[in-house]
A and B are shown apart, each in its own frame.
Chain A
Amino acid sequence: MTRRAAAFAAAGVALALLAGLLDIAQGQGDVPLGDVWGALFNRGDSLHDALVWDIRLPRAAAGIVAGFALAGAAVVLQALTRNPLAEPATLGLTAGGALAVTLVAAFASLAPGAPTIAVAFVGVLGGTLLIGTMAAAGGGGVRLILAGMAVGLALAAGTAAVRLARETETSGLFLWGAGSLLQNGWGPLQAGVLIGTPALLGVLALTRALDVAVLGESTARALGLRTGVTQLAAVTLAAVLTAVAVGLTGPIAFVGILAGGLARAARPRGHLGALAVALPWGAAILLAADVAGRAITGLDTETPAGVVCALIGAPVLVLVARRLRGEVGSALETRASAARWRPKAALVALAVLPLAIVGSLCLGEIRIGPGEVLSSLFGTGSPLGEIALESRAPRLAVALLGGACLAASGTVLQAAVRNPFAGPELAGVVGGASVGAFLVLLVFPDAPTLVLPFAAFAGALLAMALVLALAGGSSPTRLALVGLAITAACSAVTMLMLLHAQPAAATAITWLTGSTYAASWSDFRLLAVPALVLLPLVILAIRRLDVLMLDDDLSRALGLQTSRTRAALLAAGAALGAASVAVCGAIAFVGLLAPHAARLLAGGNHRRALPMAMTLGALLLGLADTVGRTVFAPTEIPSGLIVSLIGAPYLAILLWRSRTA
């Protein structure tokens, strides 16, 4: 090991020890410092001794185990993807684990320790498969991170929906879901150590293969590495380590990025040296976050380590993004793509829309025929039909317009940052909207619900302004990263507010899951006003979108003021997304998938692709609304959850096919 790497490693070990001792000294129960010290070296039968040994020590130990696991997984994932931003959270793996654990806990019982880790492993593997297909589909660099973020957000939306549906069963997971080191005894930890140690040893054995693997697949193979086996082993080990961390402490982001980044800064000779630096630093960061979380808000309303990590990690990510020169992973090969102008298919999609509208209005508690719907729409129907329409029509209208706005927003953002995995989330819209809405729920619990959309819209615009101010219009990569950072910070703040405002939480989570439930004509008007202002602007800019898609140099050479145009389009696109999120809630995937699917039917020209995307977005959210209110009636399924259920497999299939194409 080089002297520099050794110094980094030693500093990490020292910091981890210091943070660990602080953590034990500070923990639950009022134990004088002297008693803590005494108990550590000589365990007696007193209450203090029990507190130290059965609550405080396991907590610190959980920090070490999870820190090691997250840092180890991050080093492996960063080597495999050759991407310094890869880690269990940015690739959507922790979200997969969290969803699996929440699901099982909600519908069956789940003991902590080995069973939880096993369930988390299944979820992490699911996330790994999704992201693996994306990596194989040529989504390197920031593309991969955006894809991981999309997967993570969708899975988190699923988790929130499960929690909402099974509030009592999952109430115990609340702190865990935010990422907390809190432990009840040694049992789960022993399981974590028993499972994590072999995985970590496996990673150590794999370091030499990783040294070669980072040279790229063909080079590695030429050097005699069995790349397939190496990748499989490495991914499996990373998944096991992630599962250990998720099982013990819940989904925690940024520890891996930070530890991996420090390991690179230490300039070790290979991955063995990188691990020697990253592992102690992972533990140190996690323990320090735990100490900080309790120091800031006190022991009673402690801030979970996961929230602290996100709040530390987000600014670091912004700094990294701002220091970026050039593009990460922008030199993509021209790939075969299925995006084409297919007039027949496009016509079918357009024709389906009115049919779907009438069909949706027919269905419900009272079934009425299509003729009845049409005559009621024109005010000549029977009272029964008009009553049925009174509740169905406005929410369907909101869903259709909301879906169209989200799709337009996604189309604009994808063109502006030239990244097919971008969506309204990217501009911080969803995160900002959540913070805005929650802030109102927290500060003015009695405020009329009409205030919520305005608060959400304001929050979304503020977050977007922040993203644009920090990133500017200069570089698509920088924008993506800053958007990621702001989104992470927003969700940490949201989590923090949720923890401090349990009573308002249910309303908040309903909103967060995204629902067109009980939408009225006044909601529709709220959405129609910004849509009528912004959509014409976007349509006027269609040629600019076309040119912006080409290349920064080229679009400038064609006479476009690239930075200014990109910033303006981003603002318009994000505002469209914000309006929709403000009224319909945080609905993931529509803004990502509708533009994607539209390109398959209408090709790459925005003259055709934009209207097609809006049609598909309206169809998707309209369908989700109809299914949500009819299939399990009278129980409502949030449309956001249904969209995620449709969206995740669609994305996976799409990426899988583009891999083999």
Chain B
Amino acid sequence: MAEPHRVSLRAEQLTVGYGERDVLQGVDVPLPSGQITAIVGANACGKSTLLRTFARLLKPTAGTVLLDGAEIHTLPTREVAQRLGFLPQSPVPPEGLTVEDLVHRGRFPHQKLGRRTSAEDRAKVDWALTATGVEDLRARPLDQLSGGQRQRAWIAMALAQDTPTLLLDEPTTYLDLAHQLEVLDLLVDLNEQGRTIGIVLHDLNHACRYAHHLVAMKSGRVYAAGAPGEIVDETLVKQVFGLDSRVIPDPVTGTPMCVPIGRTVSKLREPA
């Protein structure tokens, strides 16, 4: 890499706790601008907490999150919403909404009190519907969509918000394999148009394939961060997920691919 990437969103010495327990213990995580950053780790390692603190939804007990150099918690809510989009894990839509209704709500931070929907609002909504491939479904009620379609509608809503940075909390949960890849490919498309993307992922192999930058977390701390090809090896998988594995190059992309070894696998291999 010739020059270090500009960073628009960065956590510095971030400590976040619920009550007595500190979930994040002084982490430094930059989200490189114009890249896809994936945050991975075992359950309850603090990866969702990190993402939610990035999105200004949780207040740190110590340390800060900087958005374009300014402390995010001192910025007005609406201003943050114009620069930073966030999609929570499997949100439940209110009843009686069409896809288009939902996507329109993403325009909220750009709308003034009492002002009617503008031409720009409509243009951005159309663009978001097209970009996510749900324009044919725009008049369909959300409750009639498949899981993959609905997830794309939610992403379209976050896109209509028209922010340079987009954070997503496990957007592939509850989707089948084809739909998972569909969502991830969509994120790559969006990234190629210049968006910075931060994403929490369950699947390490997906993260290795799709992310430029990987943050591996372990019990509230950053275990390793960097390009997947540079940091992912068998030691990392053992340390972060507590799992023995073989890490081989992905036959399709060449990125690291983790093949887990369970407790009983070696026994099965033994000749009878």
**A interface residue numbers (CB < 8 A to B):** 330-337, 339-341, 418, 420, 540, 543, 546-547, 549-551, 553-554, 556-561, 599-600, 602-605, 609
Contact = CB atoms under 8 A, between A and B. Distances in A.
A560 B91 contact: no
B1 interface: no
Interface in B49-90: 52, 55-57, 77-82, 84-88
21 contacts: A330-B92, A332-B92, A334-B92, A334-B143, A337-B95, A337-B96, A339-B95, A339-B96, A339-B141, A418-B94, A549-B94, A550-B91, A554-B88, A556-B55, A556-B56, A557-B55, A557-B85, A558-B105, A558-B109, A602-B96, A604-B96
Contacts of B55: 553, 556-557
A152 to B, nearest CB: 24
A337 B88 contact: no
Nearest to B82: A559
B91 A605 contact: no
A553 B93 contact: no
Contacts of A340: 96, 141
B81 A603 contact: no
Given A604-B94, A604-B101, A560 B88 contact: no
A87 to B, nearest CB: 28
B88 A551 contact: yes
B40 interface: no
Nearest to A547: B108
A330 B142 CA distance: 18
Given A603-B98, A604-B96, A553 B108 contact: no
Given A554-B88, A557-B57, A557-B84, A334 B93 contact: yes
A336 B95 CA distance: 8
Contacts of B108: 543, 546-547, 558-560
Nearest to B19: A325
Given A339-B95, A339-B96, A543-B108, A558 B88 contact: no
Nearest to A661: B143
A240 B269 CA distance: 61
B195 interface: no
Contact of B91 (A336, A551, A600): A551
Interface string B31-62: 00000000000000000000010011100000
Contacts of B266: none
A546 B103 CA distance: 11
Contacts of B77: 556, 559-561
A286 B106 CA distance: 53
Contacts of A540: 113-114
B97 interface: yes
B218 interface: no
A605 B98 CA distance: 9
Contacts of A341: 96, 98
Given A603-B98, A605-B101, 5 more contacts: A549-B94, A553-B55, A554-B87, A559-B79, A605-B97
Contacts of B57: 553, 556-557
B271 to A, nearest CB: 37
A334 B92 CA distance: 6
Contacts of A336: 143-144
B111 interface: yes
Given A336-B143, A554-B86, A557-B55, A599 B91 contact: no
Contacts of A561: 77
Contacts of B106: 558
Interface of B: 52, 55-57, 77-82, 84-88, 91-98, 101, 105-106, 108-109, 111, 113-114, 141-144, 150, 161
Nearest to B79: A559
A337 B141 contact: yes
B155 to A, nearest CB: 12
A661 to B, nearest CB: 10
Nearest to B167: A557
B80 A551 contact: no
A557 B81 contact: yes
A324 to B, nearest CB: 13
B143 A550 contact: no
B88 A553 contact: yes
Contacts of A418: 94
A554 B86 CA distance: 7
Contacts of A543: 108, 111
Nearest to B93: A334
Ranked nearest first, the 4 interchain pairs of A and B with the lowest CB-CB distance are A339-B96, A559-B81, A604-B96, A559-B109
Contacts of B161: 558
Contacts of B96: 337, 339-341, 599-600, 602-605, 609
A467 B99 CA distance: 35
Contacts of A339: 95-96, 141
Contact of A559 (B80, B95, B114, B142): B80
Given A337-B141, A558-B109, A560-B77, A599 B95 contact: yes
A327 B138 CA distance: 31
Contacts of B143: 334-337
Which of A553, A557, A602 is packed against the most chain B CB atoms within 10 Å? A557
B85 A547 contact: no
A111 to B, nearest CB: 48
A604 B101 CA distance: 8
B119 to A, nearest CB: 17
Nearest to B111: A543
A332 B55 CA distance: 24
A100 B101 CA distance: 45
Nearest to A333: B92
Nearest to B52: A553
B141 to A, nearest CB: 6
A604 B97 contact: yes
A158 B45 CA distance: 54
A565 to B, nearest CB: 10
Contacts of B56: 556-557
Contacts of A605: 96-97, 101
A435 to B, nearest CB: 33
Given A418-B94, A554-B91, A558-B161, A334 B150 contact: yes
Nearest to B109: A559
A334 B142 contact: yes
B228 to A, nearest CB: 27
A605 B109 CA distance: 17
Nearest to A603: B96
A331 B78 CA distance: 27
A655 to B, nearest CB: 13
A63 B85 CA distance: 59
Contacts of B141: 337, 339-340
Contacts of A420: 95
B266 to A, nearest CB: 31
A461 B183 CA distance: 48
Contacts of B91: 550-551, 553-554
Nearest to B58: A553
B98 A553 contact: no
A138 to B, nearest CB: 11
Nearest to A332: B92
A604 B55 CA distance: 27
A558 B150 CA distance: 19
Contacts of A337: 95-96, 141, 143
A614 B161 CA distance: 31
Contacts of B86: 553-554, 557
A364 to B, nearest CB: 38
A339 B78 CA distance: 30
A341 B109 CA distance: 25
A330 B144 CA distance: 21
Contacts of B93: 334, 550
B171 to A, nearest CB: 13
B17 to A, nearest CB: 14
Nearest to A596: B95
B160 to A, nearest CB: 10
A543 B150 CA distance: 22
A560 B82 CA distance: 11
